[in-house]
Amino acid sequence: MDQPKIERLLRLMKMLTANVEYSVDDLAERLNMSRRTIYRYIDTFRDAGFVIKKSGDCIRLDKESPHFKDISQLVHFTEEEAVILRRAIESIDDTNLLKQNLKRKLYSVYDNHTLADTVVRGRNAGNVHTLIDAIQNKYCVVLQGYKSSHSARDRKVEPFAFTTNYVNVWCLDREDGKCKIFKVARIDNVEATAEPWLYEAQHEQGFMDIFRTIATSQERIHAKVKLGRLSHNLLLEEYPLSERFITPCKESSDSWLLETDVANLHGIGRFVAGLLDDIQIIDSPELEEHLNDYLRRYAISREPEN
């Protein structure tokens, strides 16, 4: 088998074993292959002894397949980690022969748009791994002692997806049938149950913007700001996924435009407020109003008492 074909098979295997489910059309689009090629490669996996699972239009490799060792357990990248690693590779001098090999190995297997498993350590590790198993095997769990802003109580849920670095988990709350985000750090313990999912068709992730704020509704807020060199560099360092929404300004080599949709104004507002002398708001009245209100409240709270 030629090397390009091996690389395509590895990329397909990676996507078929990720926490995100894909249809054949999704796989064909993301991997730049034809549907016929995808089906042929899936037949190759089946002939090699892998068990192929279908859920509606989605296809995945069963991790209980004979002789199967999940390649996602060998190296773990989140989307942000892959972006940072790519930058580190790009910073290597072009004359270094290792640079192209590193790029080829990273890009041939890891898709920056695919969330990969992350090795989780510390007090949340056990809970995260129980949630991973529940997602993969489609069963309910009880989030014991979950601490919301109002109370601490048990919540029976159907977990189905994580956000970056397993900070939050998307679940369908069996109490009211709504999809919600739960912070992993607020869970005392995750108790596995033998109860399968009942509402998989209703599982739907919300929108998370580049500032890692999550939408509680379908509404999006469009924001456009002009960045100076300092704010541009800090934005890329703190929020690597912002890179795809930044373009250089034509009139200046020291300024850039950030244009993106945000879930709410809190994340971008905090960033802009800390760099007011290096950021200009453009055609974003909601952001401008939010920032003016924020600064007004901050000024009042800082007024000395008589």
Task: Write down the pLDDT at residue 70.
Answer: 46
Q: Are residues 22 and 66 in the same domain?
A: yes
Task: Write down the pLDDT at residue 122.
Answer: 58
Of 138, 168, 202, the residue that ends a domain is 202
Q: Is it the case that residue 71 has pLDDT exceeding 50?
A: no
State the Cα–Cα distance between residues 76 and 303, nearest whole angstrom: 49
Give the tens place of pLDDT for each residue, 77-93: 556 666 677 677 767 76
Mean pLDDT over 196-214 rounds to: 89
On whether the CB atoms of residues 229 and 279 are closer than 8 A, the answer is: no
Number of domains in the chain: 3
- Residue bearing the bigger pLDDT, 29 or 4: 29
Give the tens place of pLDDT for each residue, 268-296: 999 999 999 999 999 999 999 999 998 88
Q: Is 159 contained in some domain?
A: yes
Q: Report the CATH number at residue 272.
A: 3.30.70
Q: Is 207 contained in some domain?
A: no
Cut 0.75: pTM above it = no
Task: Write down the pLDDT at residue 240.
Answer: 83
Q: Is 192 contained in some domain?
A: yes
Q: Are residues 185 and 236 in the same domain?
A: no
Q: Are residues 129 and 105 in the same domain?
A: no
Q: Are residues 101 and 182 in the same domain?
A: no
Q: Are residues 149 and 234 in the same domain?
A: no
Residue 158: closest CA among 144, 140, 182: 140
State the Cα–Cα distance between residues 266 and 263, nearest whole angstrom: 9
Q: Is it the case that residue 135 has pLDDT exceeding 50?
A: yes
State the Cα–Cα distance between residues 306 and 303, nearest whole angstrom: 9
Q: Are residues 99 and 17 in the same domain?
A: yes
- Residue bearing the bigger pLDDT, 119 or 48: 48
**Owning domain of residue 197:** 125-202
Give burial (CB, 10 Å; 0-12/13-18/19+) of 235: buried
Q: Is it the case that residue 153 has pLDDT exceeding 50?
A: yes
Of 77, 109, 141, the residue that ends a domain is 109
Q: Report the CATH number at residue 160.
A: 2.30.30
State the Cα–Cα distance between residues 185 and 165, nearest whole angstrom: 12
State the Cα–Cα distance between residues 225 and 105, nearest whole angstrom: 36
Residue 179: closest CA among 191, 161, 196, 165: 161
Q: Are residues 7 and 105 in the same domain?
A: yes
